[in-house]
Amino acid sequence: MIDAFSSAFGLLASSGAFERPPIDWHAVAPELCLLGGGALLTLIDVIWLEKGRSITSALAGIVMLIPLIPILTLAIDSEDRSMFKGAFVVDKYSLIIKALFLLSGYLVVLLSTNYIAEGEYWENEYYGMLISSVLGMVLMASARDLITIFVALELLSIPAYLLAAWRKKDHKSNEAGLKYYLMGVFASAIMLYGMSLIFGVSGSTILEEINESIASGGANTPVITLGITFVIIGFGFKVSAFPFHTWAPDTYEGAPTPVTAFLAVASKAAGFVALMNLVVIGFIGQEDVFQPLIWILAALSMTAGNVMALRQTNIVRLMAYSGIAQAGFMLAPLAVAGEGPAIADKAVSAVVTYLVIYAAMNIGAFGIILAVSRKTKSADLESYNGLFRTSPSLAIVMTVFLASLAGIPPLGGWYAKFSVFTSLTSASTNWGYGLAVVAAINAVIAFGYYGKIAMRMWVEDPHETHVGEVKVPVSLLTALVLTAGTTIAFGVAPGIVTHFTDVSLIAFGG
Amino acid sequence: MEYDNNWLLSLMVFLPLIGAAVVMLIPKAQEELVKAVALGTTLVTAALGVFMLFDFDYGKSGDLQYVVDKEWINVINSRYILGVDGMSLPLIALTLLIVPLCLVYTFGHFPEPRNPKAILALILILETGMIGTFASQDLILFFVFFEVVLLPMFFMIAVWGGDDRRYASLKFFLYTMFGSALMLVSFLALYFLADGSIVGDQANTFSIVSLSEGASLGISRSAQLWIFAGMFVGFGVKVPMFPFHTWLPDAHTQAPTVGSVILAAVLLKLGTYGFIRIAIPMLPEAASAWAPFIGLLAVIGIIYGALGCLAQRDMKRLIAFSSVAHMGFVMLGISTLTDFGINAAIFGMVAHGLITGMLFFIAGSMKDRYHTLDMGRLGGLLVSAPRLGWILGFSAMASLGLPGLAGFWGEFPAILASYNPASILPESTFRGYMVVAALGTVLAAGYLLWMLQKTAMGNPKEEFADNEEITDVKKHEWIAWAPILALILLFGLYPRPIFTTTDDAVVKSLTVDIQGEEIENCLEVEGADLGKECFANVRETAESMKE
């Protein structure tokens, strides 16, 4: 991490001896806690060997939770902090995002505990990778310059490539990891090329300075256009937006299920956070470039994701396609973000709200998938037949998650979709209304497949090999209770979410 | 408001939900306890309703009473506002009556696959959604409750339904969800375009009271028309109005008996209630532009529903199509935009809820006995089960609008109202509708008597001649039906209580005035052009008040 900053400053400082810029230790405390915790975890494995195994997952969970303490103190302090000439910013927006990543990480640890312990996997390394990936995400929340964003992105991606291939004796998992890696690197290359173009024109890597430079009008427009397009396409891969989604279904299917949950929620959220930082701070004023691009990506992702999800027979692949559609929903507000500061703020709040609610309901759904596949050893949709009769409580909880994903009140998902609608209609442009109607139609299509799973659980007879109740281990149960509770609470009292997600990216930049 | 006992409505809305949670926590083996808790919850809720019926200040039935107004979602200024006025009181009372009766009926005969715990919990969740919708005074809160009823009904059809239940339940869900998605976009457009500061609220508001009192009057005519169109689809699917009605026969035919009863008695009213509570008061100008079209769809629905009935072999499907026709009368009453027509419509909602609910109960009981509802095979009910046959006859008479029974007071005034619609509406068109609707009543008599003849008259067919299963009305059926039958007769003979309750609220909902600025009711200004001018003036006034 420190290397990243020094290299950033190496580029900026044209001459003179290097002086360490002042560091606000309080502001970087969450990252440092995570780093220290990860190191401790590795150390324990080296020293205690097998004896340490039993507590690894519990420890990993604690490591995920500890950085919440400095985040809380920073939030109480409520002072916006900026370091390294504005490359690293801690404000309300980045704090809520950091908390989201850490809590998602904690839930993934809960999902992983039995899965990893019961298979023949490397446990300690697994959690180490998970923690470093989360570290990259937490860093991303504060990143406000191109290089920090890129380093954060690689820090979160590289462990994720490895995690996807964690079931190393399984061909599918190898395929998953390799595909994810190749596509990921390809996307990084495109993005980096775009970044270099932007840097070349604007002469800065700090997003605010880029914005000032290209807004002043002297910049070379075609190059800027190309640069912005490449950067957005690069993140299009990361958030699995159509037509850059092709890796997602295979990777989701092959990767260990807890890792899939991690990729589907945290990794995707990190992509969105980077995209928001870039678009709302860096590219604002260039709305005729990014708005049409994002509009098309959003509309295509929603529609294509939904239509393809309708045909799936494997639940993980179905969730992959539904995730593509959900990514379309999350992209949508950014398609009107250039219409003015107030609307940009609304768009950012809508995306953050969506991310928070999506994390709860999606990790929850993967928790159920994990629980069911523990017994049926399969991810076929058929293994959900008659779940209501064999394990009624699991079926009810899964119904809650599915209905929430479909956006049915009073479960969390409705408010996520609603805030997207609000942000789109608040722009009062024809493009905004048009996308709102596309989104409304897609919200209906989505129930086609979510409802199909629900129907299997409630209506069909259980498969004869699948009779008997599904047993849920304690850690998984904890994750399910937490996610189901928050999904319902967010839906009944959306004020809980909006209290935290009423954030602004522009206010700080001024 | 001076009514400080505002916990009453919240309790009424959420008590069934608590009951549902308790029911789900009780172990499956203790079926009796499950039943007792479920019934107890609905009875206590109903008792609260009875208390409200006595405590309600009928002198001020135009005002909201038992108001709760609390913060809910601050960022969008959506509030937790509940309240009851004369327009919602009868519908809440109807809900509170029907649900316990449905429970009692279900106790006697659980549909397959039994699972009493699940079905009772779903019914209780439904009750929360229904009461909540009628009591909400905030658009977003209304939307949430409006949607809460979807999932339980979906599962009720999908799990306990007939052979074709998968198709029917999904169709029901997708239709209504499509409608409500567009409705939500309309709500949002209202939120951003209306200006609540005219009536002393925040600029952007979802409050139904603020929006009906004039906040939305400054919106341009074309925008009003679009917003109304979105709501029209949302509410129209639920009613269901003619081109959107195709989900209804499938859903009704496949649903278990209690599902059909709740669907017919209460859920359909959510749509019509939306029109009179939200669409018309908030957008009177757009309503007056849309009204002839709504009236047209309503009479098409009346005739189409009646002809649909005559083409059925399945008794339950026939009753479902008769619902389309009856809701056509309700919508015709609403489309006149007069207080007389809307009062009739509300009466029609209550009457249809009681009568068609009753008919579905009977159809369900006949299905249990005959295991078929094919009218070609039925017959001689008056011989095999005379009491059941007479109850069927009584309900059919009520349904065809026989004077002296409740159905009459829903249909007759609605037809009468269309003789004399609001002045701004084209009178000759509505008189045309009146003639067609009157023909519809003849057709109604036709199909209902035909149904009665096919099922109740004559001698039992050979296959059912000495069937021991075909018993007369059982005890649980008596308990469930007696109150409904009594009320059908009571309201038929003495309709005044409902009309006097609703009248003030209806008149208020149709009056265009902005706080502090008395403006006459543009709908009733003589001459359509003058009425339009009046609306233009209202828009101008609203504009100027904004500044």
Nearest CA in chain B to A445: B174
Residue A459 forms contact with B (CB below 8 Å): yes
Chain B hits for A455, CB-CB cut-off 8 Å, are 158, 166, 169-170
* pLDDT at position B212: 85
- Residue A470 DSSP one-character state: P
pLDDT at A357 over 90: yes
What is the rounded distance in angstroms from the CA atom of residue A443 to the CA atom of residue A306? 9
Single out the residue of B105, B59, B65, B110 nearest to residue B83, CA to CA: B65
Residue matched to tokens 């006459």 = B520
Chain B hits for A414, CB-CB cut-off 8 Å, are 144, 147
Find out whether B18 and B103 touch, Cβ atoms under 8 Å: no
Nearest to B150 among A408, A426, A437 (CB): A408
Chain A hits for B140, CB-CB cut-off 8 Å, are 418
Chain A hits for B191, CB-CB cut-off 8 Å, are 422
| Residues on chain B bordering chain A, Cβ-to-Cβ distance under 8 angstroms | 24, 71-76, 118, 140, 143-145, 147-148, 150-151, 154-155, 158-159, 165-166, 169-170, 173-174, 177-178, 181-182, 184-185, 188-189, 191-192
Query: Tell me: the pLDDT tens digits for A234-280?
Result: 999 988 888 888 899 999 998 999 999 999 999 999 999 999 999 88
* pLDDT at position B1: 42
* pLDDT at position A428: 80
Nearest to A422 among B74, B165, B188 (CB): B188
* Three-state SS at B517: strand
- State the best of A447, A452, A456, A498 to mutate against chain B, taking most chain B CBs within 10 Å: A447
Tell me the nearest-neighbour CA distance from A40 into chain B, angstroms. 42
Chain B hits for A410, CB-CB cut-off 8 Å, are 144, 147-148
Residue A441 forms contact with B (CB below 8 Å): yes
Q: How many CB atoms lie within 10 A of CB A50?
A: 7
Find out whether A270 and A140 touch, Cβ atoms under 8 Å: yes
What is the rounded distance in angstroms from the CA atom of residue A273 to the CA atom of residue A358? 14
pLDDT at A510 over 50: no
- Residue A112 DSSP one-character state: H
Query: Tell me: the pLDDT tens digits for A89-123?
Result: 898 889 999 999 999 999 999 999 888 888 777 78
Residue A507 forms contact with B (CB below 8 Å): no
Tell me the nearest-neighbour CA distance from B184 into chain A, angstroms. 8
Task: Supply the mean pLDDT for chain A.
Answer: 87
Query: Tell me: the pLDDT tens digits for A268-283?
Result: 999 999 999 998 888 8
Nearest CA in chain B to A458: B159
Tell me the nearest-neighbour CA distance from B149 into chain A, angstroms. 9
Tell me the nearest-neighbour CA distance from A347 into chain B, angstroms. 13
Q: Is residue B423 situated within a structural domain?
A: yes
Query: Tell me: the pLDDT tens digits for A120-176?
Result: 777 888 899 999 999 999 999 999 989 999 999 999 999 999 999 988 888 888 889
pLDDT at A10 over 70: no
pLDDT at B3 over 60: no
Say whether A425 and B185 touch across the interface (CB within 8 A): yes
pLDDT class for B547, splitting at 50, 70, 90?
low
pLDDT at A286 over 90: no
pLDDT class for A507, splitting at 50, 70, 90?
very low
* pLDDT at position A5: 54
Tell me the nearest-neighbour CA distance from B259 into chain A, angstroms. 16
Find out whether A410 and A491 touch, Cβ atoms under 8 Å: yes
Chain A hits for B144, CB-CB cut-off 8 Å, are 409-410, 414
Total of domains in chain B: 1
Find out whether B332 and B437 touch, Cβ atoms under 8 Å: yes
Q: Is residue B288 situated within a structural domain?
A: yes
Find out whether A96 and A141 touch, Cβ atoms under 8 Å: no
Nearest CA in chain A to B165: A459
**Range of the structural domain that residue B133 is part of:** 7-546
Tell me the nearest-neighbour CA distance from A41 into chain B, angstroms. 41
Query: Tell me: the pLDDT tens digits for B68-116?
Result: 988 888 888 888 999 999 999 999 999 999 999 999 999 988 887 878 8
Nearest CA in chain B to A491: B144
Chain A hits for B143, CB-CB cut-off 8 Å, are 409
Residue A408 forms contact with B (CB below 8 Å): yes
Q: What is the mean pLDDT of residues A390-409?
A: 90
- State the best of B18, B34, B75, B190 to mutate against chain A, taking most chain A CBs within 10 Å: B75
Find out whether A428 and B192 touch, Cβ atoms under 8 Å: yes
Burial (CB count <10 Å: 0-12, 13-18, 19+), residue B376: exposed
Tell me the nearest-neighbour CA distance from B456 into chain A, angstroms. 35
Size of interface A-B (CB pairs under 8 A): 86
- State the best of B169, B180, B185 to mutate against chain A, taking most chain A CBs within 10 Å: B185
- Residue A338 DSSP one-character state: G
pLDDT at A324 over 90: yes
Q: What is the mean pLDDT of residues B117-134?
A: 94
Tell me the nearest-neighbour CA distance from A457 into chain B, angstroms. 10
- State the best of B73, B136, B145, B191 to mutate against chain A, taking most chain A CBs within 10 Å: B73
Phi first, then psi, for residue B517 (nearest 5°) are: -125, 100
Highest-pLDDT range among A448-457, B461-470, B480-489:
B480-489
Note the helical H segments in A378-494. Answer: 387-390, 392-406, 413-426, 430-458, 474-492
Q: Is residue B2 situated within a structural domain?
A: no
Say whether B159 and A459 touch across the interface (CB within 8 A): yes
What is the rounded distance in angstroms from the CA atom of residue A142 to the CA atom of residue A135? 11
What is the rounded distance in angstroms from the CA atom of residue B43 to the CA atom of residue B40? 5
* pLDDT at position A86: 82
Q: How many CB atoms lie within 10 A of CB A143?
A: 25
What is the rounded distance in angstroms from the CA atom of residue B8 to the CA atom of residue B13? 9
- State the best of B144, B165, B233, B254 to mutate against chain A, taking most chain A CBs within 10 Å: B144
Tell me the nearest-neighbour CA distance from B267 into chain A, angstroms. 17
Q: What is the mean pLDDT of residues B129-142?
A: 94
Measure Cα distances from A332 to A236, A300, A320, A440 in Å: 13, 11, 19, 12
Chain A hits for B121, CB-CB cut-off 8 Å, are none
Residue A423 forms contact with B (CB below 8 Å): no
pLDDT class for A220, splitting at 50, 70, 90?
low
Highest-pLDDT range among A318-332, A429-443, B171-185:
A318-332
pLDDT at A53 over 80: no
Q: What is the mean pLDDT of residues A474-503?
A: 89
Query: Tell me: the pLDDT tens digits for B341-366?
Result: 999 999 999 999 999 999 999 999 99
Q: Which residues contact B529 (CB under 8 A, 6 or more apart)?
A: none
Chain A hits for B118, CB-CB cut-off 8 Å, are 388, 392
Find out whether B349 and B323 touch, Cβ atoms under 8 Å: no
Say whether B166 and A495 touch across the interface (CB within 8 A): no
Say whether B158 and A436 touch across the interface (CB within 8 A): no
pLDDT > 90 fraction of chain B, expressed in percent and rounded: 56
Nearest to B159 among A448, A458, A499 (CB): A458
Nearest CA in chain B to A403: B151
Say whether B185 and A428 touch across the interface (CB within 8 A): no
* pLDDT at position B394: 95
* Three-state SS at A75: helix
Single out the residue of B316, B329, B394, B324 nearest to residue B360, CA to CA: B316
Task: Supply the mean pLDDT for chain B.
Answer: 89
pLDDT at A508 over 50: no
Find out whether A109 and A103 touch, Cβ atoms under 8 Å: no
Query: Tell me: the pLDDT tens digits for B501-535?
Result: 999 889 888 876 665 566 667 887 777 788 888 88
Flag the least confident range among A21-30, A363-372, A497-506: A497-506
